[in-house]
């Protein structure tokens, strides 16, 4: 498997998109830390931008990469190699290279400007989000053979998790405002990896004091080691479920 990952990585590095992505993240993070005044503010604005762009770039890059690697995959399936191995190598190759870009592009500025637990959570969340959205991209790619359709599904997924879902949550909160919704919002958060990531980082910043009762509940849950571990566990599930289901589809599909 390591050998195939090596060739996947070589192919990705050659395309140079990953380098452009790293530079983009670096400029973004350094810029925001210099603009914000306090490092906390920098982390906050960085968080919002990262949670919008990282899923988008991960899902689009991974989907196009999968379709562009079709020839490579076809070449390998005629060789004595397990299909799931080919698939996992593709997945890990893409996820590792995007995560590496994120760690360099965001991790290094965070260490320089705002070292600490919150920064660590931000980087960890970004890496998890990368793995999750690459997994969703692969799921979209194995569902359909048509490249345009695959990218369409991928973009819809991003649109749903990054924008529409929050709209739905706000609508529910507004419509059922008379009822106690603390635990319901908690459950709704777990159903969106982007929100989950946002909460993990937010609750470690001072701004969480402004979030009212729900904020207090969140703080009491996510403030503990167990809460954080559960949140990262949920993120892990969000990556594993699409990866395993797409792996299953891929190994049973005609090529």
Partner 1 sequence: MHKSYGKLQVLRDVNVEFGTGKVVSIIGPNGAGKTTMSKCILGMVLPDSGDIQLNGESVLKKYAYRSQIGYMPQIGKYPVNMKIRQVIEMIRDIRKKEKNVDEELIGLYALEEIYDKRMGALSGGTKQKVSAALAFLFDPPILILDEPTAGLDPIAAEILKAKILKEKKRGKLILITSHIMSEIEEVADEVLCLVDGSIKFYESIVELKAHTQEDRLSRAVAKIMNEGYHP
Binding site for partner 1 (CB under 8 A): 3-4, 7, 11, 14-15, 69-72, 74-83, 252, 254-255
Taking the C-alpha atoms of residue 156 and residue 193, their distance in angstroms, rounded to an integer, is 15
Cβ at position 25, least distance to partner 1 in Å: 25
**Cβ closest to partner 1, residue 80 vs residue 212:** 80
- Measured between alpha carbons, how far is 140 from 66 in angstroms, rounded to an integer? 10
Residue 143 CB, shortest distance to partner 1, in Å, is 16
Smallest distance, partner 1 to C-beta of residue 74, A? 5
CB of 82 to partner 1, least distance (A): 5
**DSSP one-letter code for 164:** I
Closest CA to 110 of 63, 55, 43, 48: 43
Cβ proximity to partner 1, 160 vs 253, nearer residue: 253
CB of 91 to partner 1, least distance (A): 18
Give the residue with the Cβ less far from partner 1, 178 or 254.
Answer: 254
- Other CB atoms within a 10 A radius of the CB of residue 195 amount to 20
**Which residue number, 15 or 245, has a Cβ lying nearer to partner 1?**
15
For residue 179, give the 3-state DSSP assignment: coil
**Contact between 50 and 33 (Cβ < 8 Å):** no
Q: Give the shortest CB-77-to-partner 1 separation in angstroms.
A: 5
In the bound state with partner 1, the residue whose beta carbon lies nearer, of 78 and 117, is: 78
Listed in sequence order, the residues at least 6 apart from 238 whose beta carbon sits closer than 8 Å to its beta carbon are: 128, 132, 135, 193, 196
Considering the complex, state which of residue 120 and residue 249 has its C-beta at the smaller distance from partner 1: 249
Range list of H helices, the chain: 2-15, 17-36, 39-68, 70-77, 83-102, 108-113, 117-143, 147-159, 165-175, 182-190, 193-202, 212-222, 225-251
């Amino acid at each position: 498997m390591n050998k195939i990952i090596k060739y996947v990585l070589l192919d990705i590095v050659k395309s140079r998109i990953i380098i452009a992505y790293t530079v983009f993240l670096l400029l973004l993070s350094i810029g925001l830390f210099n603009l914000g005044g306090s490092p906390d503010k920098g982390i906050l604005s960085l968080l919002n931008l990262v949670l919008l762009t990282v899923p988008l770039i991960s899902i689009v890059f991974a989907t196009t990469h999968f379709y562009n690697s079709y020839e490579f995959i076809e070449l390998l399936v005629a060789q004595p190699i397990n299909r799931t191995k080919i698939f996992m190598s593709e997945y890990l190759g893409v996820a590792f290279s995007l995560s590496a870009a994120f760690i360099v592009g965001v991790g290094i500025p965070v260490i320089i400007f705002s070292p600490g637990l919150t920064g660590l959570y931000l980087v960890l969340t970004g890496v998890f989000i990368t793995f999750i959205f690459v997994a969703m991209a692969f799921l979209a790619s194995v569902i359909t053979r048509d490249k345009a359709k695959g990218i369409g599904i991928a973009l819809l997924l991003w649109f749903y998790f990054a924008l529409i879902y929050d709209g739905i949550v706000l609508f529910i909160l507004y419509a059922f405002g008379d009822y106690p919704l603390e635990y319901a919002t908690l459950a709704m958060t777990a159903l969106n990896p982007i929100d989950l990531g946002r909460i993990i980082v937010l609750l470690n910043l001072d701004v969480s004091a402004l979030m009212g009762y729900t904020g207090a509940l969140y703080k009491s849950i996510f403030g503990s080691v167990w809460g954080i571990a559960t949140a990262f566990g949920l993120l892990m599930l969000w990556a594993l479920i699409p990866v395993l289901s797409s792996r299953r589809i891929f190994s049973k599909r005609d090529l």
